[in-house]
């Protein structure tokens, strides 16, 4: 896979180890506990994460718009200040064994702000999704990335095309992944054997491996990605057999909730013979 020219890709080569939400099957997702484990134990190269805007205009690291699944809080993230959110137990519901034990409960695990996360890993790359369509969230996000000097180590975007377009407008110098409709247009054109739409705003295809029973990653898509100097990351892959196949296909990166398994497979792949 030829490298895109953006500085984000300097020194990188397929296949990247990307910890999805920090590796959400091994530690409480989108917390420093998960991110630190992924980096220190499994040598992840990219941390994938999500951000929401708090009531007081800060960016907090979280996937869900509500608090009940991952914390002991209730209600919407957007209805709380950052200080209120950081008083919650973000390890409360994590269990590695189907609810028999909760090893992170009461251990001081909390929701980090985006600034805290960027500062905790100053040399690492990130894949950051802006989740809600909130007016002005793109401006707050751009300000944080610029003030933290993180523009060249963050690939950014949104599933929502309107938000992705606003991010591309306020952060033209950043690396952007395709939003949903733009991504679908690219993939469907390849599958139909038609010319792919040209859109210089987006460089990275962050996409699922399957759509229903159809495996989306195939030889034609990989050729098109190469021909257009794009980069392909596949989510969320936890099956070792699929990991091995994707590594053999030299996809750009694999997002996984099992960074332990992916690290072992990548290390085995790199062994001589």
Using pLDDT thresholds of 50, 70 and 90, give the confidence band for residue 272: confident
As a whole-number percent, the residues of the chain with pLDDT over 70 amount to 99
Using pLDDT thresholds of 50, 70 and 90, give the confidence band for residue 5: confident
Predicted confidence at residue 270, as pLDDT, reads 85
pLDDT at 172 over 80: yes
Predicted confidence at residue 150, as pLDDT, reads 98
Helix then strand then coil, in percent of the chain rounded to 5, is: 35, 20, 45
Q: Are 155 and 175 in contact (CB under 8 A)?
A: yes
How many other CB atoms are there within 10 angstroms of residue 203's CB atom?
A: 22
**pLDDT tens column, 90-99:** 999 999 999 9
Q: List phi, psi (to 5°) of 85.
A: -65, -35
**pLDDT tens column, 64-76:** 999 999 999 999 9
Average pLDDT over residues 39-43: 98
Question: Is the overall model pTM greater than 0.85, yes or no?
Answer: yes
Query: Helix or strand or coil: residue 248?
Result: helix
Average pLDDT over residues 255-264: 98
pLDDT at 77 over 70: yes
248's tokens: 């053999």
Q: List the chain domain ranges.
A: 7-270
Predicted confidence at residue 3, as pLDDT, reads 78
Average pLDDT over residues 75-99: 98
Q: Which residues contact 268 (CB under 8 A, 6 or more apart)?
A: none
Average pLDDT over residues 7-36: 97
Q: Helix H segments across 99-207?
A: 114-120, 137-147, 161-170, 180-191
**pLDDT tens column, 112-170:** 999 999 999 999 999 999 999 999 999 999 999 999 999 999 999 999 999 999 999 99
Predicted confidence at residue 108, as pLDDT, reads 98
Q: Are 160 and 180 in contact (CB under 8 A)?
A: yes
pLDDT at 271 over 90: no
Predicted confidence at residue 201, as pLDDT, reads 97
d(CA 63, CA 84): 17
Sign of CA dihedral 129, 131, 134, 137: negative
Mean pLDDT of the chain: 97
How many residues belong to the chain? 273
Fold classification of 7-270 is TIM Barrel (3.20.20)
């Amino acid at each position: 896979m030829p490298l895109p020219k953006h500085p984000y890709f300097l020194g990188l080569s397929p296949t990247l180890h990307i910890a999805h939400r920090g590796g959400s099957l091994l530690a409480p997702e989108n917390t420093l506990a998960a991110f630190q484990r992924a980096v220190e134990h499994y040598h992840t190269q990219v941390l994938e994460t999500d951000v929401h805007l708090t009531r007081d205009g800060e960016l907090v690291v979280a996937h869900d718009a509500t608090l009940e699944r991952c914390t002991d809080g209730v209600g919407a993230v957007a209805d709380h200040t950052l200080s209120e959110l950081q008083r919650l137990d973000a390890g409360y519901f994590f269990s590695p064994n189907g609810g028999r034990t909760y090893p992170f409960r009461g251990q001081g695990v909390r929701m980090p702000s985006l600034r805290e996360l960027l500062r905790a890993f100053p040399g690492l790359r990130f894949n950051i999704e802006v989740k809600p369509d909130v007016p002005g969230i793109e401006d707050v996000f751009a300000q944080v990335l610029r003030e933290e000097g993180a523009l060249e180590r963050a690939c950014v975007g949104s599933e929502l095309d309107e938000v992705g377009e606003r991010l591309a407008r306020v952060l033209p110098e950043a690396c952007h992944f395709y939003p949903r409709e733009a991504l679908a247009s690219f993939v469907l054109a390849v599958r139909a054997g038609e010319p792919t739409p040209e859109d210089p705003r987006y460089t990275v295809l962050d996409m699922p491996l399957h759509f229903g029973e159809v495996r989306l990653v195939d030889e034609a898509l990989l050729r098109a990605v190469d021909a257009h100097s794009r980069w392909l990351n596949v989510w969320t892959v936890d099956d070792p057999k699929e990991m091995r196949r994707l590594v053999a296909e030299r996809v750009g990166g694999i997002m996984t909730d099992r960074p332990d398994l992916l690290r072992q497979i990548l290390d085995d792949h790199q062994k001589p013979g």
